[in-house]
Each structure stands twice: as C-alpha cells, then as structure tokens.
Structure 1
Amino acid sequence: MFEKIKIAEGVNLYIRPTTQFKTISFSFKFRTALTKQSASQRTVLSNVLQHSNAVYKTNAAYRSALDDLYGAVLYFDTGKKGTQHAFYMNAEVVNEQYLAEDQVLDKMMTMMQTALLQPNLQDGVFLDNIVAREKQIVTERIAAVFDDKTRYAQHRLMQILRPQGAASISANGTVQDVATITATSLYETYQKMLSKDTIDIYIVGDVDVREMAARIQSHFAFTDRMPYTQTIEQVAPQPFDYVREQQVMKQGKLHMGFSTPVAFGDDRFPVMQVLNGVFGGYAHSKLFMNVREKESLAYYASSSYLSHYSLLFVTSGIEPENEDKAYQLIQQQLQAICDGQITARELQQTKAQLKNQLREALDVARGQIEVYDQYKSLKEPFTVENWSAKWEAVTAQEISELAAQIKLQAVYFLSGKGE
C-alpha cells in the first residue's frame, strides 16, 4: 500500500502514489514516551508552532499565506497511542497538475519547512507572550473535560482502572504540568523532539516516489536517532472498584471497564474486534438493542475496545434511579455472549460493519495514512482483503470463548446531587 524509504536511522518515509485524489496529503509523526510532562509540553508546542513562525510573524499572515496556496491546509496536533505520545504536522495541498500554476508543491513544502523548522523566536527561545497565551488555551482545553460529563466519566474510569498507567494520561497533559512550562523549557522540548523523536512521514497523492523522497530529504535534513519502540504496558491487576460521584447534572453516566486477554496484534485481535461489535459497537449490538431499545434503560449504551491497553469499555447515559437495573442488564449482555447466544444476523452485520468502516476510512487520504500507520507494525502486510478475511473467519464459538475471559474491573457512576 505504501512504499517505505529510510531517510535516516529512526526516520522513515512512506509514500503511496495514487490517482485517487486531486490533492497531496502529508503527515509527519514525531513519537516519544508518553508522560504527563511530555504530553503537556508537546501540546503547548503544537499550539505555539501553529500560531506563527520566523517568516510569518502573525497568525493572520500565516493563514493568509496558506489561503494563497489555493486554500492549502497545514496544522499541528498531538495524540497518544499505547505508551507513546505523538506530535503531528499534517498538511494538504491541491495537486498542481490540476492548476495553471506549477510551483504550488514547492511553495507548500517550503511552508511546511518554515512552520516546523523556522519557529518564531526572540533571544533564542519562543516568545513569552505567545507561550503564555497558548498555555492558557491548552489549560482551558484540559479543563473543558469537566464540562463534558461523558468524557469526564470516562476519564475518571481510566484513572480508577490504571491510576499510574499511560491509559490514564491525557494526550493534552495536565493543568499542573502546563503551568510549569516556560519559553525556555518549551524550546528545549522542541529541540529534543527534532533530534531525538522517532519520525514517520506519510505522503499520499499522484506523485513520483523517488522525486518526492528527494524533495523531503532536501527540505527536512533529519539526522540519525535511536528509534523509539512501542512497549506493552505491564499493569498489576487492580481490585474491583465501584465508584460513585455526584455533580450538578441531570442524566447519570454509568461507565464500566473490563480487562481482556487480547492486545493489539495478538492472534485473537480480529476476534476481539468482532466481539466488541456484537456486544455494543454498533446499532444492531446487544447493548443498543436490549439495554436502550427493548428495556428503555439508557439514552445511549455502547462499547469500545482500546486494543493498546487491552481494555473494553461500556458507556451509558441513564436515569439515576435505573443504575442497578442498567448495571445488571449490561453484564447480562456479556454473559449472553459467553453462553453462545450470538445470532447469525448479529455476526453477519458486525462483520459487514467492520469491513464498511475500513473501506470508508480508505476513501480519504488521511484515513489511508492512519489505517496504515496503525497496522504496519503487525507481522504480515496490511491489505483490505486480508483483514476482511480475518473478520469473516471469526466464529461464534471463538467469540464466546474469548468473552468468558473478559473480567469486569471497575465501574464509575456519575449522577446529580440529591439523586
């Protein structure tokens, strides 16, 4: 799907030449170990680089220059996956073969080089006023999770399940760690990222592979570094915990966390994906059909599987007085799967949904990048046909046997005061 070219030790370029799109998409992914401090620093850094640079000193000038490139897109972001923190530079520009102008790609790559490698500095560090403003924006973003009760409930559940683990660390960091950032410490983080992070660069579009590789090496002279290796976090089993909290709100949030014996890349990974779909991943699943539709115990009820942490979650919005009924009924749906109560229709629809989701993701360039980035670390080359065949081969018996090994680890219930 992508052709891999080694740029330097720890720096790899992946190019997919295709006529599917009229644009050329880029994604630079810088990866390092996930900690509260690294997440905080790098999230603020993404905001600061997004604001301005040495050539375009104001955000307005920066935005205007992108608009002049036929509405090109260039932005920075951060995220996490397993035990790693990722810093992204993503860009998209119209392929110049569809334009009268023939210097658009060169100008875009120069813009990317400027945005990443020529920051807006004063006395050798970032500007204090820009850092202060972006710190405030990130602080507000982190604090906003409290206002979104569903996100807050999930965040609290993760803290209960993995109090010292990467799973409970926000990709944005913490308010406390953001507060300690200075213009100097942020510039040190920036320099360390450029010189130490593992880098994966993705390009999708109607391009010549060798020519594009030469352009990247010309604009971005990354040096050798020790490749960062993603590790599976070893977490000691936590005793079962049922936590109730109250805030000023109406709808109750019942979130349940289950441990599973399957991590990303395990042989039973496809089985776990289908199991999640049957349990609560889709509108035909047991949680939706029985907890929400049949019994009317929830405004919503669904499950999700976080493969890098080997965790399965159920999230539901309920009336507080239905807490016990919903709690019991949710567990009954998993027990029904353990008992082999899986219809051919549930199995067929789940497999079809998984395949459709994969195809839909690959309909856009960004989706192709993200899917390949996710699956490239597996033992065998990724193809749509290969993964569709893996899902199709999953049997009801395999799902039941796996479901029997899933254990409820923690429950978090958030409700209104006085309920």
Structure 2
Amino acid sequence: MHFDLASGVALHVTPTQQFKMTHILITFTTPQTSDNATARNLLANLLETSTHRYPTQTALARQLAKLYGAYVGMGVGRVGRLHTVRLRAGFVNDQIAGTNLFDQVVDLINEILFHPLIDDNEFDGPTFRIQAHNLEQTITALYDDKQFYANRQLMNLYYPDDSIMRGPSFGQVADLAKLTAQNLVKVYQEMIERDRVDIFVLGDVDPAAVKDALGQLPFIPRQATDLQPFYQQPLYSDPKRQVEHQPVVQAKLNLGYQLPVYYQDENYYAGLVFNGLFGGTPYSKLFTNVREKASLAYYATSRLLPFTGFLGIQTGIQAADAQKVEDLIAQQLADICAGKFSADRLAEVQDSLVNQYRASHDLANNILGRELLRALLSLPEETAVIEKINAVTAADISRVAKMVKMQAIYLLSGEK
C-alpha cells in the first residue's frame, strides 16, 4: 500500500505474517556529487549514536534494550547515480510483544532523525571528533583488503576522472578534513528538508495504524524531483590498462566491460542469465574453465551492475599467469557469443538464479531493497520473475554477449 505523507515523502506498507519481526526502512535520496558521500556517511554515524534525549551510544543502547532488543541503525548506499542515507529498524511485532512497540520505535526514530545532538548550530564536538576518527579508520581498513582495493582501482580506471561514479558511497578519507561540527549541520538540514524520502514497513501490521504513527514524523513538504539513477558513458576507443606492484602473495586481475543492460529493460533478464553463465554462478564458464579445469585462478567471478551498464570480473591469480588468464577469459566470452554452451548448462544456470531469487524472499532486507528500487523507478510490482528467467534462450544470451565491450584491465601484481 502506498501513501503520500507529504510532497516528496512516501510511505510504502507491505503487510505480511511471514516474519515475526517488523522492519522499517527510511531512505533519504539525492544525486551523489563529488563531495557529498563522505559528509552523508559521517552524518549517518552521528545520528545513530547520539541524540538530545540519548546523548551517548550507551544511553541509546539502553533505550533499545527496553524495546525488547529492537535494532535501529543508519548507513549509506547507492543506486546508480543516487546516494541514499538509510535508517533501518527491526523489532518484535506488537502481537508477540503484547504492547504497542511500533509506536515506541517510531518515537525513537523521531528522536534520532529530528533531535540530533546539535547545540548552537553545531554537532557536539567530542562526539563529532570520535565519529570522524572512526569513519577514517573504517575506510582505511576497507582498503587493507587487497581484493577490495583492486576492485576500487578498477573502478577508478573504468570511470573518467570527472565521473561521479568514481566516488564510493561510503566516502573518502581525504574529504574528512573539509568537514566540521558546524558545516555538517547544513548537510543534515539539506537531507532532512530536501531529500526525497521513502518509508517502507514490512510486517504483521495494520496499514492505517502505520500511516497514523509515521505520519507524526515532522517531515516538511519538499520539491518532488525526478531522480535519475541510471548512468551511461561513451565507449573508450581502446581499453585502459594499469599494472600496480605491491607486496602481495596473490595477484588480482580485474577486468571492466561496458554492457548496456539496465534494470528491468528489455535485455535485463537475458543479461542476468548471461552473467550467470559467464561468471556469476558456480555453473559459470569462469568457474568451471578458468578456476577448475585450467587451475589458473583461486577465484574468478563476474558481476553485472544494472544501473551503470558495468560488467566486472574479479580474479585471484599468480602474477605470472596474468596473460594466460586474460586470454582464457576472452575465450569464454567468445564461446558464449558463438553459442558454445550446452542446453543442460544453461538450465543449471537458470535453476541457480531461480533458487537465488526464491531464497531472497526469506530475508526482509532483500524484500525492502527491491521495494526501494521499485519506488525510485516508479515500477509496477515485480511479477513472473521465475518465468522470465526461464524464458531466456541461448540466442538471447549470445546476443547480449556480443554487446559486451572491454574497457579496463587492472592488475595488482606482487612481481616486478
């Protein structure tokens, strides 16, 4: 069920008895820019750790414990060109709790979102410094993972210097120096007053009661802008290539392709099955031929990003085998273009994707994630997904495979 609480503030309710918990997701969405991701991530960390009524993490945790161990946390995410700050809450439904827990959790959400620890137009100084330090440590630790590092380097190679897609949704350490307890207040005000807001509720709830409770949150109307999540970029005439040397035991060869297949477009399901056959499932060509038969990779996977037209491959290899691996990957793609795969293998891939789709319905966060995409794109409810996966033909897959264009090759090597 859909309700408009104010201009630019929408409520989406999915009543279900599937879960014993009630789940709330509140998203604040705006276009990502070159410098807003870090600020918004730091803001999310500040909001989830302190409020005027609960000025410390300990005080906030004690209140959550009183709510039968409810969870309320904040983070950031991305949908193509769009940046989202997300509040998630999970708590025992009222029927099990035997009390009106829903209203109490909404009251806490109200405190977190609308009563942050701001005095004299600045965030509390010690809290700000702690959270800025924590975020710096968190981002730095991410890059200590060489697989993560290599993937970020591939993204930097693939996207042009001026592309907003180069900046990760969680931000960058270099941007933290620009942020203060004063200027972050403006970031907060812009988010609360101007961002598109979508509120999702999933659980054994009465939609009318949900609307009444969440309608009490003091969101003001904001301009309902048409947000565009999809990103496209021109093809490079020649693939970009970079080799970097670090003292790593396992080299990382990552490849980036353009594949102009976008979420729910006419080629979307063919693109999903193609990716499953290429490197996205245990039945893929990369897994069976590069990793298993040739024993040239510790892992070899592909991933399709259907909001940016990006297809990425990640491998862990011996540096001396880099050219062999690159050539063998190219051969797998050429074979798919030529239709060199069996009907049985196609059926295995489709079955694997269908099982993944069915399993995703067991997790509330996956359901809410799909609802978020549906809301942002103004799409009707997703139907006949299994039938659409199974309807993809060998010819469809080969046609999509021929759309794949190599654009970037990044090698993190331990050898010079």
- Identify whether the pair has TM-score above 0.5, normalized to the shorter chain: yes
1:163-195: per-residue Cα shift (whole Å, max 9, x none)?
A: 332332111112221211011111110011011
Q: Which amino acid aligns with 1:287?
A: L
Structure 2 counterpart of 1:165: 163
Counterpart Cα distance in 2 of 1:64 and 1:309: 42
Instruction: Find the aligned partners of 2:118 and 2:376 in 1 and give their Cα distance.
Output: 37
Q: How many residues align?
A: 414
1:127 maps to 2:120 = no
Please give the TM-score of this superposition, normalised by the length of structure 1: 0.95
Where in structure 2 are the equivalents of 1:321-360 lying within 5 Å?
321-360=320-359
Counterparts of 2:82 and 2:410 in 1: how far apart (Å)?
Answer: 26
| Corresponding residue SS for 2:182 | helix
Q: Which residue does 2:296 correspond to in 1?
A: 297
* Structure 1 residues 12 and 281, CA gap change in structure 2 (3 angstroms): same
Match runs of 1:220-235 below 5 Å: 220-235=218-233
The root-mean-square deviation of aligned C-alpha atoms, in Å, is 1.5
Number of the residue aligned with 1:137: 134
Give the match for residue 397 of structure 2: 399
Shift of 1:364: 2.2
> What SS class does the counterpart of residue 183 from structure 1 fall into?
coil
SS in 2 for 1:111: helix
Q: Distance in 2 between matches of 1:361 and 1:412?
A: 32
79, 95, 98: which is aligned to 1:97?
95
Contact 2:24 2:199 in 1 (8 A): yes
Q: Deviations over 1:125-171 (max 9, x none)?
A: 20122112211111222222331111111101111110332332111
Q: Distance in 2 between matches of 1:303 and 1:234?
A: 20
Identical-pair percentage = 33
Match of 2:76 among 75, 78, 93: 78
- CA spacing shift, 1:379–1:407, aligned 2, 3 Å: same
Q: Deviations over 1:305-350 (max 9, x none)?
A: 0111101111000011111111100111111100101211221122
* CA distance in 2 between partners of 1:61 and 1:231 (Å): 38
Query: Contact 2:9 / 2:219 at 8 angstroms: preserved in 1?
Result: no
- 1: CA distance, partners of 2:375 / 2:51: 33
1:186: which partner in 2?
Answer: 184
2:37 to 30, 39, 45: 39
The structural deviation recorded for 1:376 is: 4.6
Contact in 1 for aligned 2:8/2:224 (Cα 8 Å): yes
Report the TM-score, using the length of structure 2 for normalisation: 0.96
Q: Partner letter of residue 62 of structure 1?
A: L
Cα pair 1:31 1:86 within 8 Å, conserved: yes
Alignment of 1:58-73 (within 5 A): 58-73=56-71
Query: For 1:219 and 1:26, how far apart are their aligned partners in 2?
Result: 14
Q: Show the counterpart of 1:281.
A: 280
SS of 1:233's equivalent?
A: coil
Q: Provide the residue aligned with 2:311 in structure 1.
A: 312
Q: How far 1:378 moved relative to its partner? A: 5.7
Q: Give the letter for the 1:150 counterpart.
A: Q
Contact 1:261 1:310 in 2 (8 A): yes
Counterpart in 2 of 1:265?
A: 264
Q: Quote the Cα distance in structure 2 between the aligned partners of 1:375 and 1:275.
A: 23
What runs of 5+ residues in structure 2 fail to find an aligned partner?
A: none
1:109 corresponds in structure 2 to 106
Secondary structure at 1:158 match in 2: helix
Secondary structure of the residue aligned to 1:219 is coil
What SS does the aligned partner of 1:30 have? strand
